[in-house]
């Protein structure tokens, strides 16, 4: 017999099925009611698992939210990177905006959930596995912005990394600050674009 994939045992299949039911239940309930309007007991009930079983997969409601949002965040980054590559040749600003557009839309799809997710990533325990995964995604986004900026002949590699951190900070504030909550996605993106343009402008004037 070849050394291909080992078959998954019944116990492991059962664990995967429970995790998927929990994820689906959490995803649906958070979308319907927002993170503050949902309890872990409600998630366990919809997933048809005991509350103790749910805690084997995520020990808090915040971790459940991070589990759900990590999937959405990853998909948004993938979409953004593809869009940025399609926008190559438009200078730095066009591809960067193409990258961050689906990320902003993802974070604002349900504003309470997006704000809570970012808050938990920044202020929660960075050693918790789901937060580690979320922080890795944030790093991937930052690296994506860095890569796009290094294509600009006016921006050196070291400056590109620093500017990428500034740009991700702009995204964070623009998608979480209370003053921006009632703006449309397009208005928020337009404001982000203006801020990024102003941030990059000195590098072009210096040439």
Report the pLDDT value the prediction gives residue 141, as an integer from 0 to 100: 98
Task: For residue 18, give both structure tokens.
Answer: 């429970």
Report the pLDDT value the prediction gives residue 101, as an integer from 0 to 100: 98
Q: Half-sphere exposure of 30 toward its Cβ, with a 13 Å CA cutoff?
A: 27
Task: For residue 193, give both structure tokens.
Answer: 């674009």
Task: For residue 42, give both structure tokens.
Answer: 């409600």
Strand, helix or coil at 110?
A: coil
At 112-160, the pLDDT tens digits run: 999 999 999 999 999 999 999 999 999 999 999 999 999 998 899 999 9
Evaluate if residue 192 carries a pLDDT over 90.
yes
Evaluate if residue 2 carries a pLDDT over 70.
no
129 with 99: CB under 8 angstroms?
no
17 to each of 12, 13, 45, 49, how far by Cα in Å?
A: 9, 6, 15, 11
Chain mean pLDDT for the chain: 92
Predicted TM-score (pTM) of the model is 0.89
pLDDT band at 203 (very low <50, low <70, confident <90, very high): confident
pLDDT band at 13 (very low <50, low <70, confident <90, very high): confident
């Amino acid at each position: 017999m070849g050394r291909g994939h080992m078959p998954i045992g019944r116990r492991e299949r059962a664990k995967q099925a429970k995790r998927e039911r929990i994820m689906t239940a959490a995803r649906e309930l958070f979308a319907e009611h927002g993170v503050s309007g949902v309890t872990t007991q409600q998630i366990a009930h919809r997933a048809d698992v005991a509350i103790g079983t749910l805690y084997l997969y995520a020990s808090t409601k915040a971790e459940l939210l991070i589990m759900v949002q990590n999937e959405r965040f990853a998909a948004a980054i993938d979409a953004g990177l593809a869009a940025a590559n399609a926008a190559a040749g438009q200078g730095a600003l066009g591809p960067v905006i193409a990258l961050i557009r689906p990320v902003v839309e993802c974070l604002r799809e349900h504003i309470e959930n997006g704000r809570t997710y970012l808050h938990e990533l920044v202020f929660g325990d960075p050693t918790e596995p789901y937060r580690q995964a979320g922080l890795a995604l944030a790093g991937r986004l930052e690296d994506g912005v860095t890569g796009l900026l290094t294509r600009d002949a006016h921006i050196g590699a070291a400056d590109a990394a620093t500017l990428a951190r500034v740009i991700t900070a702009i995204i964070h504030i623009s998608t979480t600050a209370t003053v921006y909550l009632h703006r449309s996605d397009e208005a928020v993106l337009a404001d982000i674009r203006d801020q990024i343009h102003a941030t990059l402008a000195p590098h072009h004037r210096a040439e």
